Amino acid sequence: MKFIKTNLSYPPSAARKGIQGRVMVSFIVEKDGSASTITVLSSPDNALSREAVRVVKKMPKWTPARHEGKPVRVKFVMPVTFRLR
């Protein structure tokens, strides 16, 4: 979450319109820790969706889940909140 906070940029088009809210992003953490199959489940605006997907693609590798001692793929759903100040 710290990575997302420091790398997320509020899209200017959404800021001008006063659009804010939560983008729900789904992705798979692969056996090597990379994120794949990134999908937006819900979003108040396309610009917010694009920014959330951009940041998820840029994330460093995760620690993969393990089952019986071996790394496995896991689906993860993460909220990305956009709030105007």
pLDDT digits (tens, 9 = 90+) for 4-48: 989 999 999 999 999 999 999 999 999 999 999 999 999 999 999
- Count CB neighbours of 81 within 10 A: 13
Q: Rounded to whole angstroms, how far apart are CA atoms 24 and 6?
A: 18
Stated pTM of the model: 0.89
Q: Rounded to whole angstroms, how far apart are CA atoms 79 and 41?
A: 10
With beta carbons less than 8 A apart as the criterion, state whether 79 and 37 touch. Answer: no
Which secondary-structure segment (H or E) carries 46? helix 46-58
Which secondary-structure segment (H or E) carries 37? strand 35-42
